[in-house]
Amino acid sequence: MTVLEAAPQVGGKLRLAEVGGVQVDVGAEAMLNRRPEATGLARELGLDLVHPGTLSSRLWTRDALRPLPRSVMGVPADLEQLAASGVLSDHGVARARAEQVIALEGDDVSVADFVARRLGVEVVDRLVEPLLGGVYAGHATELSARATIPQVVALLERSLSLLEAARATPTPSDVPVFAGLVGGVGRLPLELVAAGGFEVRTSTTVRALRRVEGPEQTRFEVLVGPTTHPELIAADEVVLAIPATPAARLLGDLAPNAASALAEIDYASMAIVTLAFRAADLVGLEGSGFLVPPVDGRRIKAATFSFNKWDWVREAGGGLLVLRTSIGRHHEEASLQFADDELVAQSLADLALATGISARPVDSLVQRWGGGLPQYTVGHLDRVSRIRAAVAQVPGLAVCGAAYDGIGIPAVISSAERAVARLLHPDTP
């Protein structure tokens, strides 16, 4: 098996970098622990899993850091706790209490439409939006309810009242929600490559893909290399583990219906700003960080206090403490059109307003993820079904990645496993 990787290094959105001499994640920094795909792979590779030391997160909204009320993806599970938090205005709390009970519709709708019709706009703006922004860097007015908050849609299978169903949702068990790796989850792809079993060619962009009819069997030809030195690679089977846009380009002739549906998937860009401070400059900074509702108009959309969240980050830092902010949502590319030092300055300005931090970091790093997060807009599940049905008409071809069934690490691994199963067993749905 050969992996053709367009980037100079393996790993995609799992990437490590040094900040202040501390190697940390500058992409995804945690994986769901309650799904087996990622944690299982880590164990197979002999890696030890670790869990956050704290998950006490807050919301920076209405000019204060406020406790994040218990919810199911923003749907309040405790109205009294919500009222006490000050996250919503009195009017917003009253509107949520006066829930409009609406039966579950058959068609897909936006998250904003689904939640606001039942609980009011403020619940969307100040509870749902920051959670969605942290995961998808998208907007509730565009994202599909069925694709992005299926756990909320499923609440209506228990009760016509979202609030009643959310209140009845069991409190979290002792099993940690998230897991990480000492040294960062960016180690996972590196260790996988080191374990061997396949060849990886980095800095190898695929420019074209076509099928070739032969006397014995139909094969694929994969075109790589610059136009001045093209190279054709023969393959019996091909898995496209790439974003929707290049996948659409490669499938234009092979599977035009799939290409058309893939072209409908848009992407959001964002940046992670990692900052290293002297420990004495962050005294009293508690919790795992905070989320920021877009309605508040801040530059950053979230901050993660990595040194509090992960014990290994604190230990690796010695006398330095590392934290990070994230900037950028869908349709807000202009917010990233600044030099790295300006994004650092914007992050520091917001951190100062939110927490009172006034010190300068001893080091910083900006990792930009241009077009990094697929947007699961209304109709996404149907779109993915159309893509897979069209690809299934091409024997030996499969697709996988974050554009289909989830953007978390376990979901992407599951997508890859499904693609391989499709090739080994063509009748797999």
For residue 154, the domain's CATH number is 1.10.3110.10
Q: In what order do the strands lie in the sheet with 49-50?
A: 31-32, 178-181, 49-50
Distance CA(316)–CA(18), nearest Å, equals: 11
Query: Is residue 237 one of the residues assigned to a domain?
Result: no
Q: Tell me the pTM.
A: 0.94
Query: Is residue 96 one of the residues assigned to a domain?
Result: yes
pLDDT, tens only, 72-98: 999 999 999 999 999 999 999 999 999
Cα torsion 275, 276, 280, 285 to 10°: value is 40
Strands 363-374 and 397-399 come out as unpaired
Distance between first and last Cα of the chain: 23
Query: Is residue 99 one of the residues assigned to a domain?
Result: yes
Cβ contact 117:102 at 8 Å: yes
pLDDT over threshold 90, residue 17: yes
Q: CA distances (Å), 124 to each of 139, 169, 244, 380, in order?
A: 10, 20, 28, 20
Query: Is residue 329 one of the residues assigned to a domain?
Result: no
Query: Is residue 132 one of the residues assigned to a domain?
Result: yes
Q: How many domains does the chain have?
A: 1
Q: List 373's β-bridge partners, or say none.
A: 268
Query: Is residue 145 one of the residues assigned to a domain?
Result: yes
Query: Is residue 82 one of the residues assigned to a domain?
Result: yes
pLDDT over threshold 70, residue 172: no
DSSP one-letter code for 212: E
Q: CA distances (Å), 192 to each of 108, 344, 426, in order?
A: 38, 33, 26
- Label residue 161 by pLDDT band (50, 70, 90): very high
Range of the domain at 129: 68-167
Distance CA(124)–CA(75), nearest Å, equals: 9
Query: Is residue 204 one of the residues assigned to a domain?
Result: no
pLDDT, tens only, 313-372: 999 999 999 999 999 999 999 999 999 999 999 999 999 999 999 999 999 999 999 999
pLDDT, tens only, 113-145: 999 999 999 999 999 999 999 899 999 999 999
Cβ contact 248:259 at 8 Å: yes
Q: Could you list the beta-strand ranges (E) of 302-390.
A: 302-304, 320-327, 363-374
pLDDT over threshold 80, residue 28: yes
